[in-house]
Homo-oligomer: A and B are copies of this chain.
Amino acid sequence: MQTNRTTLASIAQALEISVSTVSKALSDSPEIGVQTKKRVLEYAKANNYTPNSFASSFRKGTTSTIGLIIPNILNPFYAKVLVGVETYLDDNGYKLITSISNDLIEKETKNISVMSSGFVDGLIICISKEAEQKKKYQHIKTLLDNGTSIVMFDRICDELECDKVITDDFQAAFDATEFLIKNRGCKHIVITSKMNNLHHLNLRQKGFEAAIEKHKSIVKCTVITDERSKGLKQKLKELLKKDTSVDGVFGLNEKSVLHAILLTNKLQKEDSNISIAGFCNEMQLKYDASLIVINQNAKEIGKEAAKLLLERIKSKDKTSFRTKTIAVNL
C-alpha cells in the first residue's frame, strides 16, 4: 500500500461532500444525483483513484480469493490443474493464492493456516505425499471443523468430509493396459512399482493387474519393485537388456513414463519395438505416436475443483458433499 493514495475520504474532502455520497456515486447508486455523480467521477479520474479493494474485502468479510495448495508446480499435472483453476476463478472474478508444499506436511500446514486466517474464501488442496503416507489429516480436519470450504483433488481422503475431484485411476490403468494388449499386441508388459502407500498409485496398479488377469492367456507381466526410484530404474534397465521378450512398459506416474521413454529410446534397435503406456502430462510427448498417454484432463480437474468450491461458498450449505470423477482419455 502506498502513501498519498486517493481515497473516498480525500475525494469527499476535496469536493466538500460526505464519504458515503462519494461511495455511492462511485458505485453508480440511483440514490445520487447526476450532477454529483459527474463531479465525483471526474475528480476520481483526474486523481486516478483506485478503490482499495483490500479494505472493501475486509468490510464485506469475503476476499474473492481462493487458495491452492499443490505439492509441486514443476510436475505438469499440477501445473495444468493450476491453469484450470486459475482460468475458472479469473472468469468468475476470483483471485488465486498459490502455495507449494513440496510434499511436506510442515509447509502445507503453515501455509494453509496463513491462508485460511482471513485471506481466502476457500481452499483447493492436493495433500502432500507425507500427509497421505502417514495418514495425517488433522491439519485439514481442523480447518473443516472451523467452517472453511475445501475441495480436495487427486490425493483424497475418505474420512474428510468435503467436496472432491478425482481421476478414475483404476479404470484408466485398466483401459491403457488393455490397449497395449489388444491394439499393440503386447505379450510381455513390465510395470515398475514403488509400493509407497499412495492411494491412487495403488489403484492404478490394481487396474493394470486386472487387465493382465483378464487377458492372462495371451500376455504375461513382470512387476519390478524397489523402494527407491533409482533402484527401479536400474532394475528396469537390466531387465530390458536381458529379456528381449519385453514389448510393453506401463508407467504408473510421470517419472516412470519419462524414464521408460529414455531407456527404450537408447536401447531401441531397428528390429525391436517396445510400446509404452502410462500416466503422463508432459506437453511435448504428444508428438510421439508410439506412446499411449493417459490424459488425466488436468485442466478439467482444476476447473471442476474451482467450480465445486465456488458453488460451496455461495450456498451456505455445509453438507451433501460431492465427489466428481473426471474421465480420462487415451
Which A residues fall within an 8 A CB radius of B? 1-5, 48, 50-55, 57-58, 61-63, 65, 73-74, 76, 79-80, 82-83, 86, 90, 95-100, 107, 111, 113-119, 121, 142, 146-148, 258, 262, 265, 282-284, 287-288
A74 contacts which chain B residues (CB < 8 A)? 76, 79-80, 83, 283
| CB atoms of A95 and B114 under 8 A apart | yes
In Å, the complex CA distance between A329 and B330 comes to 38
In Å, the complex CA distance between A137 and B76 comes to 31
Which of A65, A107, A114, A265 has most chain B Cβ within 10 Å? A114
A54-B63, A117-B51 known; A97-B100 Cβ under 8 A: no
Report 18 cross-chain contacts, Cβ distance below 8 Å, ordered by A residue: A1-B61, A1-B62, A2-B147, A48-B142, A50-B116, A55-B58, A65-B97, A73-B83, A74-B76, A74-B79, A82-B98, A86-B99, A86-B100, A96-B97, A96-B99, A97-B97, A282-B282, A282-B284
| CB atoms of A53 and B119 under 8 A apart | yes
Give the contacting residue for A48; candidates B50, B57, B146, B283; CB below 8 A. Answer: B146
A3 contacts which chain B residues (CB < 8 A)? 147
| CB atoms of A95 and B119 under 8 A apart | yes
| CB atoms of A96 and B95 under 8 A apart | no
A98 contacts which chain B residues (CB < 8 A)? 82, 86, 96-98
The 6 closest A-B pairs by CB, nearest first: A54-B118, A2-B147, A52-B118, A53-B117, A258-B284, A98-B98
Give the contacting residue for A54; candidates B82, B117, B265, B287; CB below 8 A. Answer: B117
In Å, the complex CA distance between A170 and B148 comes to 50
In Å, the complex CA distance between A59 and B107 comes to 26
| CB atoms of B2 and A148 under 8 A apart | yes
| CB atoms of B82 and A73 under 8 A apart | yes
Q: How far is the CB of A56 from chain B (nearest CB, A)?
A: 8
| CB atoms of A121 and B1 under 8 A apart | yes
| CB atoms of A54 and B119 under 8 A apart | yes
| CB atoms of A95 and B107 under 8 A apart | no
Among residues of B, the one whose C-beta sits closest to the C-beta of A51 is B117
| CB atoms of A53 and B97 under 8 A apart | no
In Å, the complex CA distance between A118 and B62 comes to 14
Which of A73, A265, A282 has most chain B Cβ within 10 Å? A73
A288 contacts which chain B residues (CB < 8 A)? 262
A100 contacts which chain B residues (CB < 8 A)? 83, 86
Q: How far is the CB of A132 from chain B (nearest CB, A)?
A: 21
A63 contacts which chain B residues (CB < 8 A)? 1, 54
